[in-house]
Amino acid sequence: MGNKRFRAENAGKPTSVEATRIWASKVIDDFRASGNEVYTFEHNLSNSERGVIHQMCRKMGIQSKSSGRGDQRRLSIYKGRHKNGKKDEKSNREKLKCVSFPPEADAILQELFTHYPPCDGDTAATSFNKYSGKSGKQGQWNDDFFRKPKSSSEEILEKVASLSSRLRKDKALQEISKLRSKLPITSFREAITSAVESNQVILISGETGCGKTTQVPQYLLDHMWSNKRETCKIVCTQPRRISAMSVSERISCERGESIGENIGYKVRLQSKGGRHSSVVFCTNGILLRVLVGKGSASYVSDITHIIVVLDILLNPLSCVH
């Protein structure tokens, strides 16, 4: 399966973006199955077609590079990582970091990731050293990010007092607080905290913007601190790493504190906060890794609440019998 065959397919290249994707994915698949290290497309690709192919390659983890000028510009794709056409030594080192699982664990993970696929950001090395453990033991997460803060009841009281003092003094915070009190979810605050107290799982459904994401974690946190004087670890998932980061920033702002104090996040290769943070946002993929990681039992029991975002589309036709 050499360049000849690819050139033949290249000659009949389609015109629309979708058709380019279909055609290019076949060419890339054939290239991946071939013994060739490099494949160069014909020079009859337009700028936008090359753009589509570069984008596809990025998603598939294939290195791609265009070279040449004007009509002669051609796009090449590489099996290994290349820098300016030279093989990057790093790729060999990266290959050595491959994690393998015993067949039983493989089957369980396959099923989990089929039902709850990690988002793009999670599929690449998630704090690999922390997940694998420096000793090299696979699947061992040595991180205490998901452990409960060690605060005593006096320290909790101080945190509550400090929040009310900020609210008294800070005009901007008072404005935000006024806006928060007008959110549709506000009238359900008590109902939510008492439902959480008496049930293991609750489902909260509300229109977009009603306050589910930003308010529920705070209701639970304030309930744990003010009413129960107890420390807690509230883990909230978000479908995307960017939303995990921005929601934790928003909540920190609503409480007049810096991100990484009581509210934090952990996404691929990035985190703010730590064990001391009581509310932490992460992506679905990170939570899954926490839950299925070997030795996770010791700190998973520290997690007091898990808030998962579900996007359920109800098909009205399915209700018609």
- Nearer residue to ligand ATP within complex by CB, 179 or 269: 179
Query: CB under 6 A: which stretch of 121-129, 153-161, 213-221, 272-280 binds ligand ATP?
Result: 213-221
Query: CB under 6 A: which stretch of 13-21, 191-199, 210-218, 224-232 binds ligand ATP?
Result: 210-218
Please report, as a single letter, which amino acid is at residue 256.
Answer: G
Q: 3-state DSSP call for residue 140?
A: strand
Q: What distance in Å separates the CA atoms of residue 10 and residue 45, rounded to the nearest whole number? A: 9
- Nearer residue to ligand ATP within complex by CB, 23 or 281: 281
For the bound state, the minimum distance from the C-beta of residue 57 to ligand ATP, rounded and expressed in Å, comes to: 33
The yes or no reply on residue 208 touching ligand ATP (CB under 6 A) is: yes
Which tokens go with 92?
Answer: 């060999």
- Nearer residue to ligand ATP within complex by CB, 1 or 308: 308
The yes or no reply on residue 56 touching ligand ATP (CB under 6 A) is: no
- Nearer residue to ligand ATP within complex by CB, 66 or 174: 174
- Nearer residue to ligand ATP within complex by CB, 273 or 293: 273
HSE on the CB side for 169, CA within 13 Å? 8
- Nearer residue to ligand ATP within complex by CB, 215 or 284: 215
Which tokens go with 242?
Answer: 């960017």
Q: Going along the chain, which residue ranges are E strands?
A: 38-40, 63-67, 74-78, 82-83, 86-87, 234-238, 263-267, 270-272, 279-283, 305-307
CB burial readout 297-313, b (16+ within 10 A) else e: eebbebbbbebeeeeee
Write the burial class of residue 18 (CB in 10 Å: 0-12 exposed, 13-18 middle, 19+ buried). exposed
HSE on the CB side for 2, CA within 13 Å? 1
Query: CB under 6 A: which stretch of 27-35, 60-68, 207-215, 293-301 binds ligand ATP?
Result: 207-215
The site string for ligand ATP over 164-183 (x = CB under 6 A, - otherwise) reads -------------------x
Residue selected from 158, 209, 228, 258 as contacting ligand ATP according to rule CB under 6 A: 209
244: Cβ contacts below 8 Å, ≥ 6 apart: 237, 238, 265, 266, 267, 281, 282, 283
Number of residues that bind ligand ATP (CB under 6 A): 12
The site string for ligand ATP over 219-258 (x = CB under 6 A, - otherwise) reads ---------------------------x---x--------
For the bound state, the minimum distance from the C-beta of residue 218 to ligand ATP, rounded and expressed in Å, comes to: 10
For the bound state, the minimum distance from the C-beta of residue 181 to ligand ATP, rounded and expressed in Å, comes to: 12
Q: What distance in Å separates the CA atoms of residue 257 and residue 98, rounded to the nearest whole number? A: 40
Contact of 200 with 273, CB cutoff 8 Å: no
- Nearer residue to ligand ATP within complex by CB, 84 or 208: 208
Q: What distance in Å separates the CA atoms of residue 277 and residue 279, rounded to the nearest whole number? A: 6
Residue selected from 118, 121, 149, 211 as contacting ligand ATP according to rule CB under 6 A: 211
Give first-to-last CA distance, the chain, whole Å.
53
For the bound state, the minimum distance from the C-beta of residue 274 to ligand ATP, rounded and expressed in Å, comes to: 23
Contact of 274 with 262, CB cutoff 8 Å: no
- Nearer residue to ligand ATP within complex by CB, 211 or 293: 211
The yes or no reply on residue 213 touching ligand ATP (CB under 6 A) is: yes
Task: Give contact residues for ligand ATP (rule: CB under 6 A).
Answer: 183, 206, 208-215, 246, 250
